[in-house]
Structure formats: C-alpha cells, structure tokens
Structure 1
Amino acid sequence: MRINKTMIKILTVFSVLLALALFVCWNNKSLVVTKYQYRSKQVPEQFEGFRITQISDLQSEYFGQHQKKLLDKTAETKPDIIVFTGDLLDRNHTSYEASLEAISGLVEIAPVYYVNGNHELALPEQRMKAFYDELRQMGVNVLFDETTAVQRSKQQIHLIGISEYTLYASKTSIGRTATAYDPSVITDMVDRLTEGIGTDELTIMLTHEPQFLDAYADDKVDLVFAGHAHGGQIRLPFTEGLFAPGQGTLPKLTSGMHKKEGTTMVISRGLGNSVFPFRFLNRPEIVVVDLNRGS
C-alpha cells in the first residue's frame, strides 16, 4: 500500500510537470493574430480598408520548418504591407539563417518595411552592414531614419522609420541609465522626417521601443508601430506583464493600442524571446491593423 501511494504521488507530480511544460511550450510557439481598427480623417479614400500586418521581435527563432507556421499565419492575414519593427536577430543566440528565411518568405506575401532593434545594434557592425544590404537585395524597404510613401492611384500615405541608432543616441546623450533619455534627439529626427508632409496626410511611424511615446507624439505622426517589450514576458491578470526593457517592473506599454494626444501607438508582443527564454500567458503575436476613414 505504501509503495502504491508513493507511486501515485510520483505520477501526479510527473503529470503536473509534464502539463506545465506542454503549456509553456504552447505559450512560446503557438501564434495568435490580434486585429485592430484604426480610424482617422487622415486616411485617404483609396486606403479605406488598407491592411497592415506587423511582425516584431523574431529574435532568430523558428516557427515551423523554414518558418512555415509564421509565413502561413502571416499570409492568412492578407496584408497590403508588412511592417517589421526590430529585433529580427538576437544577440544572444544569433541565427542569420532563421531571420533570412523569415524575410525571404514575407517579401513573397507583401511589401516589407523594416526598422532595426537594440539586438541588431549590439551585433558586429560590419556583419550587420552586410546583413542590411542582403535585406535590401531581397526587396525589403529598410527605413533607417528615412521617409517613404505608399501609393494607391493618386493618393498616398507616408511611412517614416526611426532607427535604433537614433533611440540609442537619445539614451547615451545624457549618460545611459535604465529609463532616462533626451527626447529632443527623437523629436528632432521626427521633425526632419516629416518635413514637407502636411498635417492632413496620414503619417505612420515604425520604431522599435515603445517607451518613448511622449517623444513620438507629434501633430504630424498619426500612427506608430512598436515592439521591444515582449508583452511584459510574464503576463498576469490586470497587468501589462512583469518586466519590459527600458520600463522595468510592472511596465505600462507592452501591448495593444495607446493614444497620446493625436498619436496612436500599436505595440506588438512580438514572437521570440531573448535573455529570459519563456513566456507565460503571453503567446507570440502577429498584429493586424486595418485603416478606416472617419473621425
């Protein structure tokens, strides 16, 4: 009888641990699509229903063989364009192959627009120069402190990319700490990139780090896409997660739509992990935003 009771306890513990391991694995590899509607009078008539699919923070991870799960799920969203908001690579477990396989498939689905993240900035400069050149050769629109436009008939929307170089400069200009930064470095760049764009024209910003929303908010910037926060990594009820880089514990900007004055920011929870290898109640996320005309 004692042996049976002991075996039952062992089997129970084993079953609980196995269930927990399977749940954590599912939390880290099961992709979810989150959809939002963005409505603004700045949306041109020809862009009514225009769909933007956001991917962020792949961190050199694989989702299926040759990224098949990621590519299939992205294709299902039927995007007009795809925006990638940084950390395609990971500095701690770098796989250029995983990242390039993802991109090679994404450019077959829709035009891809990309800004870099802090992990790309931490990798060897010469190797990254070659990597960025390879992205461009694949057809990716690399927006490092650049402006471009998407045309439909005779109407257009503007895309601006705030690079990680600019974000890093905003931190180091005043002595880098966990959260301090010089907002003028960012606002000066936003002013330069939006020069010549009217306030009645739709301007979309791609950037990596969401915690600078106060600096991103501008009368010429209507919609911002960001990532970086990994959804707070471990999400508990009524929280935005337990920790996010640049925000510390109990962060406020890790997912969803946030508004500051006339600027709306969409934050992706991202796909992969880096320093901390697990997510909890925080599945990898592909974000879809449909543009709608109206007030």
Structure 2
Amino acid sequence: MRFIKRLIIGFVMVIILGICLYCYARLIEPNMLLKKSYSVTVPKDVKELKIVFFTDTHFGKYYPQEKITRLVDFINEQKPDVVIFGGDLIDSYNRDQELVNIEELSKSLKKIKASYGKIAVYGNHDYGGGAEPIYEKVMTDGGFKILRDSELTLSDLNLSIIGYDDYLLGSVDPNRYQLPDAPFRIVVTHEPDVIDNIKANGSLLVLAGHSHGGQVTIPFMKGVLRPGAEKYIKGQYDLKETITGCDATMIVSEGIGMTLKPFRFLNPPNIVVVSLKHK
C-alpha cells in the first residue's frame, strides 16, 4: 500500500509540475521583456554611442501587435543613438492579415526615437508567408532605412554599417562577404551562421537573430535549432579564430516573439543594448 501511495503522490506531483511548466512557458515567459547589455571597444576615431538591437518580433497569431506599444516605450527608455531591427517582423502575413494592421504597425515603429537613425534588414519571414510585398513599406514608413546587401555610412559617427539580405530566402551576393579594410564596422545579418563566410580585417561587431535562442530550451540541451542558426544560438561570441586577422565579436539575440508554437522557455524576450566605448 505504501508503494502505491507513493506512486500516486509522485504521479500527481509530476502532473502539477507539468502544469506549472506549461503555464510558465505559455503565459509568463512570453510576456516578459528584458534588456541584455553589452560593451564593445571601438577605435578612438569612432564616436562612443549606444545601439539598441531588436529582432524577431513575429507579430501575429502568437505575439499580438498590441505588445508593440510596450516594446517601443522600452526601446525609447534606453535613449539609443542608433536602433537596428534584425528581421522577421510578422510571423506569417498571409495567415495573420486580420491580426496585423500594417498602417498602425508603421505608426508605432515611427515612434521609436534614435539620434542618428534606424536601420533594418530582411529576415526569412519577411520573404515567406506573403510578407515580401509589404515589409519594405512598413519599415520605411516607420522611419527605418533597409539595408539589403548594402552599406550605410554615418559620417557624424565615423561608423559604417553593412546589412545583409536574408540568407535563406533572399539573394545574398557572395562577394559582399569579402569586406574592404576598415578600422571598425558593424554587420547586421538575420541568420548568425552566415558569419563563417565573412572575411575582414580590423574590428567587427556582428548583430544577428533568427535562432530565438532555441525558443524552448530544455536544460543541457540546445532547444529547437533553425537552419542558419545551428552553430551560433544566443549570447556573445568571440570570433577572432573564425575570421582570421579580425577582432570580431558577434551578439545573437533570442528576439521578441514566437513562431511555430506559442511557447518560450529559458529564452525570455529581450532587446540588446550595445555600448560602443573607447579603451
């Protein structure tokens, strides 16, 4: 009888634990919004500044558009000099058209304030799911400059930013991976594994997303790995050995929203704040 009683108690505890984990991953963690801060050393001729990087909002079925108000306010609280969006604005435009008002989305994005400009790149969901015809308009109406295998020079900051087209569904020019010599530049790419193709000299800061950090991560496991984010999943990476002759750092964000399933576990939504500082 004691064995049966213990078995029943154990079974009930497992069920309770399962319910608690489900509620946390479904209702609590997805509604968080955190800040991850990093500091990167830059040459003295590059102006010290603050960058806010956010990515993978996936507005739609699993992450309602109404949450953008809190996101915009949180970004503005950081008083950024430059704001960069890493792609995947809407989860599936064809499926979620009734849930996403693109005009209101642009108006909300326009409220994001940045002293020296706002920049965006394409993600795979900005091509797939029918989003390609509207993504550029939404972002440009929101005050963002889209970089698509192109480079933007902010002369006042002595800073160059390269944005790659989406690696999976875009049309990346392989020649763009060979970067001309420069003391320091920023590279923005949706898929982080692209970094293994880059050749550069000087110093480099790479900002990427796509992985969601695995979105649902079981301890001691990597979570759900996505093509283009199987090697670099989340956090900061020292790439000195990856890009020979280059002092390179990459930061991979877990992003904001969700895709495939409405769960996050051990990967709370966050924005990335990078302070560029002199030694």
- For the superposition of Structure 1 and Structure 2, which TM-score range results when normalised by the shorter chain? 0.7 to 0.9
Give the equivalent residue in structure 2 for 1:287. Answer: 272
Q: What's the CA shift for 1:77?
A: 1.8
Aligned to 1:260: 239
Matched position secondary structure for 1:73: helix
Equivalence for 1:175: none
- SS of equivalent residue, structure 2 residue 51: strand
Q: TM-score scaled to structure 2, two decimals?
A: 0.79
Q: Deviations over 1:50-86 (max 9, x none)?
A: 1111111111154673522212221222211111111
SS of residue matched to 2:158? strand
What is residue 107 of structure 1 aligned with on the other side?
110
Partner letter of residue 55 of structure 1? F
Q: What is the percent sequence identity of the aligned residues? A: 28
Q: Does 1:71 align with 2:44?
A: no
- Superposed displacement of residue 168, structure 1: 4.1
Instruction: Using the TM superposition, name which of 97-106 and 55-64 deviates more.
Output: 97-106
Which protein has the bigger helix share? Answer: 1
Distance 1:67 1:12 in 2: 38
1:148 aligned to which of 149, 152, 160: 152
**Secondary structure at 2:75 match in 1:** helix
Moved more, 271-280 or 64-73: 64-73
Supply the AA of the counterpart residue of 1:82. Answer: V
TM, length-normalised to structure 1: 0.75
Q: For 2:29 and 2:57, how far apart are their aligned partners in 1?
A: 15
Partners of 1:56 and 1:157 in 2: CA distance: 21
**Range with greater deviation from structure 2 (142-151 or 217-226):** 217-226
Q: Distance in 1 between matches of 2:219 and 2:102?
A: 32
Contact 2:54 2:271 in 1 (8 A): yes
Query: 1:121 and 1:224, CA in 2 relative to 1: closer, same or farther beyond 3 A?
Result: same
Which of 157, 160, 182 is residue 159 of structure 2 equivalent to? Answer: 157
Residues 11 and 123 (structure 1), Cα distance of their counterparts in 2 relative to 1, 3 Å cut: closer
Cα RMSD after superposing both structures: 3.1
Cα pair 1:146 1:161 within 8 Å, conserved: yes
How far apart are the structure 1 equivalents of 2:108 and 2:237?
Answer: 30
Quote the offset at 1:133 in angstroms: 2.7
Structure 1, unpaired ranges of 5+: 171-184
The 8 Å contact of residues 143 and 162 in structure 1, kept in 2 or not, is answered as yes
The answer to whether the Cα contact below 8 Å between 2:124 and 2:170 also exists between their aligned partners in 1 is no
- In structure 2, what is the Cα distance between the partners aligned to 1:74 and 1:99? 20
- Could you say if the C-alpha distance between residues 138 and 67 of structure 1 is closer, same or farther in structure 2, counting changes exceeding 3 Å? closer
Q: Identify the residue that residue 28 of structure 1 maps to in structure 2.
A: 30
SS at match of 1:243: coil
Structure 2 unaligned blocks of 5 or more: 241-245
Within-5 A mapping of 1:1-295? 16=17, 18-24=19-25, 25-41=27-43, 44=45, 47-48=47-48, 50-61=49-60, 62=63, 65=66, 67-91=68-92, 93-95=95-97, 97=100, 101-108=104-111, 109-110=113-114, 111-124=117-130, 128-152=132-156, 155-164=157-166, 168=169, 187-191=174-178, 194-195=179-180, 198-200=181-183, 202-219=184-201, 222-237=204-219, 241-246=222-227, 251-261=230-240, 262=246, 263-294=248-279
Question: May I ask how many residue pairs the two structures share in their alignment?
Answer: 258
Which digits, 9 at most, give the CA deviation of each residue in 1:108-142, with x for residues without a partner?
22232000111112133xx6234313422332101
